[in-house]
Amino acid sequence: MTEQIEIPLSKNKLTLMLICSLIFISLGLWFVIKPPTIRNPIIGNPILILTVGIAAILFFGLCAIFIAKKLPDKTPGLIINNQGVTDNSSGVSVGLIPWDDIKEINVTNVANQKFLMLVVKNPDEYINRQKGFIKKKAMQMNYKSYGSPISISANGLKCNFNELFRILQNKFNDVKA
């Protein structure tokens, strides 16, 4: 397997994710500006409703910004070749990850979403590549929680998770053989 494999970003998936993010931002604004009255003493707590609203605005606001930046991007989401994997699939993409740096590829589930974790020999190098505070913190959290700062999802790619895993695992095995 010597050819280069390019997996493009899926504009349809990205658009759908942007719409969902905007809906959650709207719900967050509703919770902050005119919170619903809920008679349940636990979920009807005004402080809880306000906190959920603010969290939704912040989290999905960041998601919307990253997605909006990716939508016009014409660069492939992933490029897989003999050098390694070039990641441009998300808001915290790291660029080229040489095969020599990759120790293993693991599957991780987070909130019913599957991610590929590329376990690398030098995780701090990839974390330090990030210039933005939020991106750097996200990678540090990934590393602390899942053993690698580099996670790849098929959510914004023109392929499904199983295809992505098969392609990466096959190339990884070919290169390491």
pLDDT at position 1: 45
Residue 2: phi and psi, rounded to 5, are -105, -15
pLDDT tens-digit profile of 18-76? 999 999 999 999 999 998 888 887 888 889 999 999 999 999 999 999 899 999 989 99
pLDDT at position 3: 79
- The pLDDT of 119-142, averaged and rounded, is 90
Token digits for 109?
Answer: 């589930």
Q: Which residues contact 10 (CB under 8 A, 6 or more apart)?
A: 77, 156, 157, 158
Beta pairing partners, 150: 118
The pTM assigned to this predicted structure is 0.81
- Give which of 140, 152, 141, 144 is closest to 105, Cα–Cα: 152
pLDDT at position 2: 54
